[in-house]
Structure 1
Amino acid sequence: MKRTTKRKLTDAILYAVLVLAVVLAGALIDWSAVKANFFDPAGWKRGGNWGDLITIGVKNTIVYTLVAFVFGFGLAIFLALMKLSPVAPYRWLATGYIEFFRGLPALIVILVMAFGVPIAFNWQPPGGLVGAGLIGLILVAGAYMAETLRAGIQAVPKGQTEAARSLGMSAGRTTLSVVLPQALRIVIPPLTNEFVLLIKDTALLFVIGVQVGQRELTSVARDLTTSGPTAGTSTSLIQAAILYLIITLPLTRLVALLEKRQQRAR
């Protein structure tokens, strides 16, 4: 048997197995239970769950993501420059911070900032529980983005720095005017990916409990499973999942396009 014929036969068998698996799964699923528990018509029609999910959940999720990303990015620049500093103690501090917060689950950091730190230091975080949760997200996001920025800065050819210094630029001005702008272009795809991760990480804020108007998308969906037109079903969770996908899929597609563009540029 020729190699091409053998490959076609193997592909045909694999497709047949896949189709058979889909048919069997479809036959075994209780579609009436799926419809009743995940696609309750009361939640999908106008005036159902969409109002709270979009006007409260999506709005707050986007706001929280932007706040965590902007402040986390500022912290990341500071940490990345510290890690590349010629002063050893600065490098040690930045490395310790980055490794510490990258090694902890974001959920633990949020809980500590919401309950541990206020109790230990008798301190009320700005914004209450939501503010504490956002500080936790900022601390974690800053650690991850710092390592991304550090790699981007080091990817800038050293000749750029040498040329700027030969023109009389100071080290600080060279970093801010020459190195950082080029590094940011390099790390746009991973930073966009970090933004997508932050969108999903805002769902962790539901564990600390927030006021009705401060709920993010997951919290709204969870509350709708016990109250509202689809109480007792998981319809609101499916709707929240759809809204997350509507937000994140275009961004993940953008990351893929940016990565391809960079590869062509190289």
Structure 2
Amino acid sequence: MKPSTRRRLFRGSLYVVFIAAVAAVLILADWKAIKVHFLDLEVAKAMFPEIIVTAAKNTIVYTAIAFVGGLLLGLLLALMKLSPVGPYRWVATGYIELFRGLPALLVIFGFAFAVPLAFQWRPPGGNASLGLIALIVVSGAYIAETIRAGIEAVPPGQSEAARSLGMGPAWTMISVVLPQAFRIITPPLTNELVILIKDTSLLFIAGMALGDRELTTFARDAVSQTANSTPLIMAALMYLVITLPLTQLVAKLERHQKRGR
């Protein structure tokens, strides 16, 4: 048998397995129970407009705050890790390794409950603010490594050319290296933004006031009130509405970079 024939038969068998699996799910699923417990239109309608004007809005606001804060912190940590001064490198490396190694849920829990007890301090906004600070702390560690990789990906000749024109190290970094580095790391940074959107769902552990609830907390409360799982489906759809355009943007940026190379 020819190799091309074997490949066609193998692909055909994969299609058959896939179709059989889908058919089995469709046949075996209890669609009546699914409709009652997960697709109740009355429960879904009762979630509007709060699911948009409160839950989705808070999710977007929390994501924006955490991303901007994480970006600034990550830039500082990346520059410290690349610093010729040893203590700066050690501190940045220790911070990055620590918070990349800890689960985000544990960090949020620690900031929401341990920090107020240890320092007798609570910021304006209460637990929601403490949870956001934890997200900034965690995202900053990941973004720092992304920025560091972008800076190191800029050809050394760019810095050497800037130095030959009389630019100092700081101005070379700001005006020459960082713009090129951020152009390189735009896709992974956008991907980090998508991850942060989903990580806002972890803020429920901090305890949220009614007006501060993001999508997951809002859906969880609605499930408790209605004894129905439809709110979970609605929250999932809202997350997809927010994240799918961003994932498509990441794919577009990656294609653009490949064409540029």
- Counterpart Cα distance in 2 of 1:59 and 1:99: 32
Matched to 2:9, the amino acid is L
**2-structure distance, mates of 1:110, 1:10:** 48
TM-score in terms of structure 1 length: 0.96
Q: Distance in 2 between matches of 1:253 and 1:63?
A: 21
Letter in 1 for 2:170: G
Q: Distance in 1 between matches of 2:51 and 2:97?
A: 36
Query: Structure 2 residue aligned with 1:103, among 101, 104, 109?
Result: 101
**8 Å Cα contact 1:225/1:234 also seen in 2:** yes
User: Which one-letter code corresponds to 2:258 in the other structure?
Assistant: Q
Which of these residues, 156, 159, 163, is aligned with residue 158 of structure 1?
156
1:5 CA drift (Å): 2.5
Shift of 1:4: 2.4
Segments of 5+ residues of structure 2 without an aligned counterpart are none
Question: Structure 2: how far apart are the matches of 1:201 and 1:211?
Answer: 18
Shift in Å, 1:181: 0.7
Q: Is residue 2:246 matched to residue 1:239?
A: no
From 139, 144, 147, the equivalent of 2:145 is 147
Taking the aligned partners of 2:164 and 2:63, their CA distance within structure 1 comes to 41
Structure 1 segment 80-95 matched on structure 2, within 5 A = 80-95=78-93
Distance 1:245 1:201 in 2: 14
Residues of 1 paired with 2:189 and 2:36: CA distance?
40
1:263 to 231, 241, 258: 258
Matches within 5 A, 1:158-177: 158-177=156-175
Deviation sequence 1:186-234 (CA, Å, 0-9, x none): 100000000000000000011111110000010111111122xxx0111
Check conservation: 1:43, 1:50, Cα contact below 8 A: no
Out of 179, 182, 202, the residue aligned to residue 180 of structure 2 is 182
> Is 1:39 aligned to residue 39 of structure 2?
yes
Aligned to 1:18: 18
Offset of 1:246 from its aligned partner? 0.9
Cα distance in 2, alignment partners of residues 11 and 120 from structure 1:
60
Amino acid at match of 2:169: A
Say which SS state the counterpart of residue 124 (structure 1) adopts: coil
In 2, the alpha carbon distance for the partners of 1:4 and 1:183 equals 44
Identity of counterpart residues, as a percentage? 59
Residue in structure 2 matched with residue 61 of structure 1 by the alignment: 59
4+ residue runs of structure 1 moved beyond 3 angstroms?
A: none
RMSD over aligned Cα atoms? 1.0
Cα deviations across residues 48-96 of structure 1 (Å, max 9, x unaligned)? 2131211111000000000000011001111000000011111011000
Aligned residues: 261
Any unmatched runs of 5+ in structure 1?
none
Letter in 1 for 2:114: G
